[in-house]
Amino acid sequence: MTRPAPGLLAPAHLAVSGLSLSFGGLKALTDVSFEVRPGTITALIGPNGAGKTSLFNCISGFYRPREGHIRLDGQDITHTHPPARAKAGLARTFQNIALFKGMTVLDNIKLGRHAHMKTNLLQALAYWGVARREEMELRAEVERQIIDFLEIDHIRNKPVASLSYGLQKRVELARALAMRPRLLMLDEPVAGMNREETEDMARFILDVKEEWGISILMVEHDMGMVMDISDHVVVLNFGKVIAQGPPAQVQGDPQVAAAYLGSGNPAELMRRLSAVGEAA
Amino acid sequence: MRIATAKETYIADEGLLTTRTQRAWMIVLALVLVLAPFVLNAYWLYLACLVAINVASATGLNILTGYTGLVSLGQAAFMAVGAYAVAFLDGHLGTPFLLNIFAAGLVAAAVGVLVGVPSLRVKGLYLAIATIAASFILHFVFTNWVSVTGGMSGVNVAPARLFGIELASPFALYFVIVPITALMVLAAANLFRTRIGRAFIAIRDRDISAEVLGIPLLQYKLMSFALSSFYAGVAGGMWAYFFRVVTPESFPFATSIFFLAAVIVGGLGTILGPILGAAFMTLVPELLKYVVEWLGPVFPNAGAALSPVRTIVFGALIIFFLVFEPQGLAEIVRRIRRFFHLWPFKT
Ligand SMILES: Nc1ncnc2c1ncn2[C@@H]1O[C@H](COP(=O)(O)OP(=O)(O)O)[C@@H](O)[C@H]1O
Ligand SMILES: [Mg+2]
């Protein structure tokens, strides 16, 4: 099994500064600033409704923030269209899986590579030259780098709709990886999974970081997983960043606990947060 | 029972025909198509050409509606554009047959792109209405742009000529129309093995996530419109050489519904679907005509009494398929294939 050589995908540096977003009167995000350092895993946590998904939607270009900037390797992408961000190296998965249900696993994954391919309409109709070569290369790469890596070879020709929830989440990760991302964004990658599926997914995310060397930004409720695998944690509450730092520091931050619970007991906070994750 | 062979490499897996049986069937089909004109009488040959023309147009509509998820009721109008383009080029410029057919596709594609512009904003029923509106505008143009279209009385088209041979009979035209249609079907099958075809399907299934994957929606929706109406234009061009007269009533609005029904009955979003659907929609009314004739001696006056019944039976058949096989004729074929694939061990 060959995997991309380290450094093949240069990890991106994401900088969000002073981001604000509102829906009518509702302030979903207020002056949010944080960074994702190249090659690290940053976790975004906070209770339901804190604005985590909205923040993801700003970064991937669905929502237009009222104020603030989003920079990828110093380049301002705040106002570019989603396809341009995909080209720049941004890939994401969705909280509610957004796969193409009628297509096979393989076709879903292949779609991830769309923006990196060059076949034009005429070449596609004739399936000659570039078209044929590109499709063959794509298939070979997808098999080698993604299907083997995520251990989904037994389902490659199955329609996505026939798969379990856990496997669908994995296929969505596969499709995002096919985009050759430099920053991978995962919205609740293990929500609704059982223990075993969660452990598999945590392992895959760590492997992606270590073997592909890309930066990862992840929203997650599962505190055990967040504390285990992330390098940096950002805590969001009512659309504001109330704390950030290494997991151990955030975990012990009395301010975080106070903001959440009105008590000063971090252990209680973590218990409550995990409960939220399991309920969702 | 055929044992499923383990694929040696995925290269074979990426082919159009992946098993030996499929290749064998394709050769049989090709032979049948080549030999058919020597066996069929003039009437059935006429029908065969008509089916081929309709398959070309239905395949185009299927790219737009079946694969990209954009419902259009403008296919007949795009065919008309192609037919008029051929009539004009042939009559005024005298350009060669194949070039005219190709140009008919290009002109229709250009019109299709214009009609497709609203598709970025509207979908479903609203887009269908927009394409109906475009059809009526085009119909107005056909009746009133007399210098090009000949107005209500239309334009005549001289017989096609290819390599100095006059293609006036269905027999002669068959050998041009069927290969052109076959090429167009092949091109469509190829398309859906590549990034562009996948992008169309992605837009159909979920256009939000299509954008995140780097697929620019407007560009691809317009491309799908262009391609679909190119197919309609070529079909319309062949139609013009086949019937040799084009009037505003050659492609009534009902023809657009005919094509939508053909792709739905055949199976949306499959290559086989529009082929089966167009054949079904074209041939079943004819077959019912035969049934009525056979019943003639049994029931006196059958002709008069049964011809409305024919229309009703045709309508009922369409409804039957929609209700009992919403995935279309292509799905029935797939089930039969699977049956023989596993037979006799499993049904
Ligand atoms: N498209 C939208 N329109 C209006 N309100 C929204 C929209 N999306 C999110 N919100 C609101 O913004 C707040 C943050 O939601 P969200 O980002 O989904 O939170 P989280 O992902 O942290 O649970 C919530 O109050 C939610 O109701
Ligand atoms: Mg959320």
Neighbour count for residue A77 (Cβ, 10 Å): 19
Q: What is the pLDDT of residues B91-105, one digit of tens each?
A: 889 889 999 999 999
User: For B40-342, which CATH class?
Assistant: mainly alpha
CA-based nearest residue in chain A for residue B199: A111
The DSSP bridge partners found for residue A218 are A43, A186
- Binary contact (A103, B206; C-beta < 8 A): no
Q: Rounded distance, CA A207 to CA A201, Å?
A: 10
pLDDT value for B248? 93
What is the predicted pLDDT for the residue at B293?
Answer: 76
Rounded Cα gap, residues B104 and B84, in angstroms: 8
The finding on whether A52 has its CB within 6 A of some atom of ligand 1 is: yes
- Whether omega before B344 lies within 30 degrees of 0, making that bond cis, reads yes
Contact (CB<8Å) B208/A62: yes
Q: Tens digit of pLDDT for each residue in A225-276?
A: 888 899 999 999 899 999 899 998 888 887 777 655 544 455 655 665 565 5
CA torsion, points B61, B66, B72, B78, in degrees to nearest 10? -10
> Cα–Cα distance between A8 and A118 in angstroms, integer?
20
Instruction: Return the higher-pLDDT residue of A83 and B45.
Output: B45
Could you tell me if B195 lies within 8 Å of chain A, comparing CB atoms? yes
Q: How many CA atoms lie within 13 A of B137 on its CB side?
A: 11
**Residue B103 and residue A104: Cα distance in Å, rounded?**
37
Mean pLDDT value of segment B152-180: 88
Average pLDDT over residues B242-259: 93
Q: Are the C-beta atoms of residues B322 and B266 closer than 8 Å to each other? A: no
Average pLDDT of the residues in B171-196? 95
Q: How far is the CA of A48 from the centre of ligand 2 (A)?
A: 7
The nearest CA of chain B is from the CA of A106 a distance in Å of 11
Cα separation, B337 vs B13, in Å, equals 18
Strand ranges for A73-205 from DSSP E: 75-76, 90-92, 183-187
Q: Quick one: chain B helix, strand, coil %, rounded to 5?
A: 75, 5, 20
Please give the backbone phi and psi of residue A253, each rounded to the nearest 5 degrees, phi first.
-75, 110
The DSSP-derived string for B287-313 is: HHHHHHHHHTTTSTTHHHHHHHHHHHH
Q: Tell me which fold the domain A11-89+181-279 belongs to.
A: Rossmann fold (3.40.50)
The pLDDT > 70 percentage for chain B reads 91
Neighbours of A15 (CB within 10 A): 16
Measured over the CA atoms of residue A54, residue A56, residue A61 and residue A64, the dihedral's sign is positive
Q: For residue A28, how far is its CA from the centre of ligand 1 (angstroms)?
A: 6
The answer for residues whose C-beta is within 8 angstroms of residue B139's C-beta and 6 or more apart is B77, B80, B248, B253
Is the pLDDT at B234 greater than 90? The verdict is yes
Q: Yes or no: say if A257 and A264 are a contact pair by the CB < 8 Å rule.
A: yes
Domain ranges of chain A: 11-89+181-279, 99-180
| Cβ proximity of B70 and B198 under 8 Å | no
Closest ligand 1 atom to residue A187 Cα is 21
Smallest Cβ distance to B198: which of A110, A126, A143?
A110
Does the C-beta of A85 come closer than 6 Å to ligand 1? no
Residues of B within 8 A of A60 (CB-CB) are 212
- Residue B271 and residue B188 in contact, taking contact as beta carbons nearer than 8 Å: yes
DSSP three-state, residue B136: helix
Q: What is the DSSP letter of A189?
A: T
DSSP letter, residue A104: B
| ipTM, two decimals | 0.84
| Beta bridge partner(s), residue B275 | none
Delimiting residues of CATH 1.10.3470 domain(s) in chain B? 40-342
Query: One-letter amino acid identity for B102?
Result: F
Cα separation, A121 vs B63, in Å, equals 13
Which chain B residue's Cα is nearest to A115?
B214
Q: Which residues 6+ apart lie within 8 Å of A33 measured at CB?
A: A16, A17, A18, A19, A68, A241
* Residues A54-68 pLDDT 10s: 999 999 998 999 999
Closest partner residue to A121 among B206, B211, B223, by Cβ? B223
Q: Is B223 on the interface with A (CB under 8 A)?
A: yes
- Give the separation between CA B184 and CA B187, rounded to whole angstroms: 5
Measured from the alpha carbon of residue A187, the closest ligand is 2
CB nearest B212 (choices: A82, A113, A134)? A82
Sign of CA dihedral B30, B333, B267, B253: positive
Dihedral, CA of residue B96, residue B99, residue B104 and residue B109, to nearest 10: -170
C-alpha distance from residue B229 to each of A24, B57, B80, B106 (Å): 42, 8, 10, 8
What's the mean pLDDT in B321-333? 85
Contact A109, A149 (CB under 8 A): no
pTM: 0.86
Orientation of helix B42-61 relative to helix B253-266, angle to 10°: 80
Q: What is the mean pLDDT of residues B215-222?
A: 93
Q: Which of the four pLDDT bands, split at 50, 70 and 90, describes residue B230?
A: very high
The whole-number pLDDT of residue B178 equals 96
| Signed CA dihedral, A134, A136, A137, A142: sign only | positive
DSSP-derived letter for residue A50 is S
| Residues whose CB is less than 8 angstroms from the CB of residue A160 and which lie 6 or more positions away in sequence, other chains included | A99, A100, A101, A102, A103, A104, A105, A108, A168, A171
